[in-house]
């Protein structure tokens, strides 16, 4: 990407991805059971090398992937993103052994990953999580609890909820309280295989067909070999993962907005009313212009945030939060107006816009609700302003 435009190769790649999503992935998504993990769809994402790109590429490429897949098939987009969310902590903080054991299957779309942070009592305030990791030398994490490890195990007890891909995932990145300190300081990350004794789950039924469920941990044994990173450093692992994925949630939203916008352009140019087409009515044409302008602004903000992440810029948290906030709120606006400009046909079960109307709602809540993004932005702005004022004060002292 140069300045504010994608390169020719990137534009071409996005076009190929949109075509793949519509022609190859959409039919697989339609054969899946709503609200369940679609393994044939995941295997196709693996075969096409797209899951590999989630891990091998930077944030901008991840955004282009998510935006383009979302344009043609939201289910494929979501399946890809959830593999990334669940497995990125393993890539970033896992041991060589954990990476070798789990990541090839994730990349191939054979092994289903999940990211388990939220709890019934800890959503936006994730640092308040209560899932307890209680030290137990007999819990060595090899699953049989016979204590033949090195005597430094824990047992996990408590609940997780709203966990995408649960309870069907093959492993979970689980954030639990080992108690090195209060709040975020006392959280550790573990890789918990789904077949560990004491782990069970139940599916949850959502507005949009999303594979999601709750998990119950009843003394699940984990050992040092299951840790992702250092004990007490798990919250950092979760936040690093969310910093990468936040702009790409915005990209998902932009893909949906672009699909809704293109459908509206086509429909309003064709639908006849009052002796012309809907697009002849200025109120309609101006609304479409507004939808397009807002979508374009969101798209550019997402690319800018992703670019900042890839450059290792210092203002990633603020940019990522702005991109997610603007893109998800914009997509809601665009999809809602697209429904309005289509009239009744958009509300018929199975219509693209009926589908997008349900899909577009959740991204304003997950990975930090819009209000939480505003809090992050404001905090970063005031910290920056205080830093600048401090530096100006110092300069004044030096000058005197």
Ligand X SMILES: Cc1cc2nc3c(=O)[nH]c(=O)nc-3n(C[C@H](O)[C@H](O)[C@H](O)COP(=O)(O)OP(=O)(O)OC[C@H]3O[C@@H](n4cnc5c(N)ncnc54)[C@H](O)[C@@H]3O)c2cc1C
- The pairing of beta strand 132-135 with beta strand 199-203: unpaired
Give the bridge partners for 222, in sequence order: 154
CB of 49 to ligand X, least distance (A): 24
- Nearest CA among 202, 236, 208, 261 for reference residue 317: 236
The residue number with the shortest CB distance to ligand X is 123
The smaller minimum CB distance to ligand X, of residues 76 and 362, is found at 362
- The pairing of beta strand 113-116 with beta strand 171-177: parallel
CB of 212 to ligand X, least distance (A): 5
DSSP state of 163: E
The smaller minimum CB distance to ligand X, of residues 127 and 365, is found at 365
Q: How many CB atoms lie within 10 A of CB 135?
A: 12
CB of 398 to ligand X, least distance (A): 39
CB of 274 to ligand X, least distance (A): 41
The smaller minimum CB distance to ligand X, of residues 300 and 365, is found at 365
Tokens of 237: 């692992």
CB of 20 to ligand X, least distance (A): 24
Let me know if 150 is exposed, middle or buried by CB neighbors in 10 A (0-12, 13-18, 19+). exposed
d(CA 116, CA 109): 19
- Quick check: 214 and 202 in contact, CB under 8 A? yes
Interface residue list for ligand X (CB under 6 A): 115-118, 123-124, 162-164, 206, 210, 212, 362, 365-367, 369, 371-372, 375
DSSP run (H or E) holding 160:
strand 154-164
- Nearest CA among 83, 375, 367, 75 for reference residue 250: 367
The smaller minimum CB distance to ligand X, of residues 128 and 138, is found at 128
Give yes or no for a cis peptide into 167 (omega within 30° of 0): yes
* Residue from 75, 359, 367, 380 carrying the catalytic annotation: 367
Q: Is 12 a catalytic residue?
A: no
The smaller minimum CB distance to ligand X, of residues 227 and 242, is found at 242
The smaller minimum CB distance to ligand X, of residues 149 and 209, is found at 209
| Burial call 32-62: b when 16+ CB within 10 Å, e when fewer | beeeebbeebbebbbebebbebbbeeebbbb
Residue 200's alpha-carbon distances to 109, 157, 192, 220, in angstroms, are 23, 11, 12, 10
Catalytic residues: 367
């Amino acid at each position: 990407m140069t300045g504010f435009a994608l390169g020719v190769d990137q534009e071409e790649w996005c076009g190929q991805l949109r075509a793949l999503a519509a022609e190859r992935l959409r039919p697989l998504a339609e054969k899946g059971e709503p609200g369940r993990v679609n393994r044939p769809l995941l295997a196709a994402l693996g075969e096409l090398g797209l899951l590999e790109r989630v891990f091998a590429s930077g944030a901008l490429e991840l955004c282009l992937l998510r935006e383009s897949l979302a344009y043609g098939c939201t289910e494929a987009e979501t399946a890809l993103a959830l593999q990334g969310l669940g497995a990125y902590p393993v890539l970033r903080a896992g041991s060589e052994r954990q990476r070798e054991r789990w990541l090839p299957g994730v990349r191939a779309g054979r092994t289903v990953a999940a990211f388990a942070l939220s709890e019934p009592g800890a959503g936006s305030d994730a640092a308040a999580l209560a899932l307890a990791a209680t030290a137990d030398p007999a819990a060595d994490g090899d699953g049989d609890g016979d204590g033949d490890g090195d005597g430094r195990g824990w047992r996990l007890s408590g609940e997780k909820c709203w966990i995408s891909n649960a309870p069907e995932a093959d492993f979970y990145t689980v954030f639990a309280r080992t108690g090195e300190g209060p709040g975020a300081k006392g959280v550790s990350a573990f890789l918990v295989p789904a077949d560990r004794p004491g782990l069970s789950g139940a599916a949850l039924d959502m507005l949009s067909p999303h594979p999601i469920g709750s998990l119950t941990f009843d003394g699940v044994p984990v050992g040092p070999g299951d840790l992702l990173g250092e004990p007490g450093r798990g919250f950092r692992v979760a936040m690093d993962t969310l910093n990468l994925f936040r702009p790409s949630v915005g990209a998902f939203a932009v893909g949906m907005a672009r699909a809704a916008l293109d459908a509206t352009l086509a429909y309003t140019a064709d639908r006849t009313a009052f002796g012309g087409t809907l697009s002849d009515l200025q109120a309609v044409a101006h609304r479409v212009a507004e939808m397009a302008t807002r979508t374009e602004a969101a798209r550019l903000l997402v690319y800018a945030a992703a670019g900042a992440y890839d450059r290792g810029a210092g203002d990633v948290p603020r940019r990522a939060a702005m991109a997610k906030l603007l893109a998800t709120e914009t997509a809601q606006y665009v999809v809602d107006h697209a429904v309005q400009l289509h009239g009744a046909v958009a509300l018929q079960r199975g219509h693209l816009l009926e589908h997008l109307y349900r899909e577009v709602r959740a991204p304003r809540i997950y990975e930090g609700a819009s209000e939480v993004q505003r809090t992050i932005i404001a905090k970063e702005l005031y910290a920056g302003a205080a830093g600048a004022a401090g530096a100006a004060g110092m300069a004044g002292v030096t000058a005197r």
